[in-house]
Amino acid sequence: MTIIIFILMICAIVIAHELGHFFLAKANGITVKEFFVGMGPTLCSFTKGGTKYSLKLFPVGGACVFEGEDGREEEGEDGESLPLSKGAFPNASVWARILTVVAGPVFNFILAYALALIIVGTTYSDKPVVQDVIPGFPAQEAGMQAGDVITRMDGERVYLSREVNLITTLRQGETITVEYMRDGEKRQAVLTPRLDEESGRYLLGFQGFSEYFKCSPPQVFQYSYYEVRYGLKATVKSLQMMVQGKAKTEEISGPIGIAVLVGDVAEQARPYGVWVMIVNLLNLAMLLSVNLGVLNLLPLPALDGGRLVFLLFEVVRGKPVPPEKEGMVHLVGFALLCGLMVLIMYNDIVKLIR
């Protein structure tokens, strides 16, 4: 069951990403040679409108293949080079190519928002409202009390209680300026987390800071945006920690780690009913879709962000980078990404064994 749920989840996220490329390519007159789901040998396929649609053996991944996307001419059956057609990727305007490349990650964010609408519309959302303060800790000493609504932390706008948890977790031991509302009056407190010897964690002194409520129809759209915003913020901050060397190896997961997480989420939510399990899995899918969108926008070779860098360089330079040079950069980047993926999978397997 875990494997089936994992495959369905990943396929949905990847298909949304590739559909973004597909729709924008078609809208800009770019020839899509093949749109396939999965990897490996082809199980079945059909051709319509000049595009081959395929289902591959291994149901993870997918791609949208454009004519001449690597800048090279096509090869005929006899091995001779065939000139690129008018609809080839390199023959489209640079802005059409930019929109086509960016559309993949954008569709991931759109999928995440659609999932958030279902989650928020059928369950509850949470406001950052202090439930109580712990005596002898910074929040109580600064005069904060139950009912205070947290609005900003170090100038960063806060809409969900999980954002409070995210910021305090990532900034263990650092002083944080908290802005909050009480009876319509804006207040401020400067809090330095204090080590709680019992839990071994640095605490600001909030004894609960979540107030759950049912959204009205207009609020569903508003708080769904906040959900996607939270996922985006969590992803970016996690990447910052990785770059700064603050993230532990065991905190980084690849496909195997994600599959294990899917199983854990399903198992923990199952006793509370099928719908609770589905909502928790939808929430995980939303976060993964945001993750994929952000990761693909990173300016790394072989990713959408890497291609975008070359296209923006073309805008500034006035002419494209030679295809063979760009292709070499993407090839090296792809090899490095594959090496990184192997290391992450090894780390996942070690964690699973432990």
Q: What is the β-pairing status of strands 201-203 and 211-213?
A: unpaired
Q: Any alpha helices (H) in the chain, and if so which ranges?
A: 2-27, 94-122, 138-141, 161-170, 217-243, 255-269, 274-296, 304-317, 323-353
What lies within 8 Å, CB to CB, of 342 at 6+ separation is none
What lies within 8 Å, CB to CB, of 43 at 6+ separation is 54, 55, 56, 57
**Quick check: helix, strand or coil at residue 1?**
coil
List the catalytic residue out of 18, 67, 69, 179. 18
* C-alpha to C-alpha distance for 18 and 24, rounded to whole angstroms: 10
Q: Decide if 18 is catalytic.
A: yes
For residue 86, what is the DSSP state?
T
**Quick check: helix, strand or coil at residue 59?**
strand
Q: Which residue has the tokens 């997480």?
A: 261
Phi and psi at 42, nearest 5°, equal: -80, 130
Residue type, 178: V
**Quick check: helix, strand or coil at residue 185?**
strand
* C-alpha to C-alpha distance for 324 and 72, rounded to whole angstroms: 8
CA angle 156, 214, 5 (to 5 degrees): 85
What lies within 8 Å, CB to CB, of 150 at 6+ separation is 128, 129, 130, 158, 164, 178, 179, 180, 209
Q: Which residues are catalytic?
A: 18
